[in-house]
Structure 1
């Protein structure tokens, strides 16, 4: 007995199954650029805050005297240095926030682009 195969129906069923499996898959593997962006965002968080008060220590008596002089000079220049450091930290916070928002918007646009491509693929098949 020979049964006729409905090629169009079989092809439509296969396409539907592929779409269903694609939709069930987790988000796509991040691209190298996305991984690099994530690494840079983490590095940005580590280096965002500037400190004007690095520890000054000496290992031998001469270095200890130099460290003491630097501490005294630093204490007398605090009125001059601290406002600059505060301005830098404020700028770093704003720039880091802007970069994080841009990265989030980029991810949203990539997801939207993927959804649009899937819609185009579905409508063309």
Structure 2
């Protein structure tokens, strides 16, 4: 013959369950916070990449005095004659930067999607454990 559980046994079991649920919720919250932190860092890195993505081969040249203005004029003339050599290199670099930036944006989007899927799977697993 078995003894029916007493109210102290039930209270002890309920308290143990509550403690376990709290600890798992805290663990999930910590994991979500870490994920959000990494996602925020990725977004910031992508923004910095966008600022430096396009390179200009022709920065403005200015001089404050007559000597600097003479050098600026000489540099402008040299740039004009070397444009055929410099522009293709700059265009290649800009194309590479664009491809890299696009790849990183796509990777960030995919990472975000995967993080959402992981969170959903963890919620489903938690729901299955509580059943």
Quote the residue 1:99 is aligned against: 104
Please give the TM-score of this superposition, normalised by the length of structure 2: 0.73
1:64 aligns with 2:98: no
* Structure 2: gaps of 5 or more residues: 1-6, 15-31
Q: CA RMSD in A?
A: 2.1
Asked whether 1:81 is paired with 2:81, we answer no
TM-score, L = length of structure 1? 0.76
Shift of 1:33: 1.7
Give the structure with the higher percent helix: 2
Give me the whole-angstrom Cα distance separating, in 2, the residues matched to 1:60 and 1:31.
Answer: 53
Q: State the alpha-carbon separation in 2 of the partners of residues 43 and 113 from structure 1.
A: 28
Consecutive aligned runs of 4 or more in structure 1 exceeding 4 Å deviation: none
Measure the CA separation in 1 of the matches of 2:44 and 2:64.
36
- Paired positions, count: 104
Query: What secondary structure, in the 3-state scheme, does the structure 1 residue paired with 2:64 have?
Result: coil
Write the deviation string for residues 72-109 of structure 1: whole angstroms up to 9, x where unpaired. 00000000000000000110110100000000000000
The alpha carbon displacement at 1:60 in A equals: 1.0
Residue 55 of structure 1: SS of its match in structure 2? coil
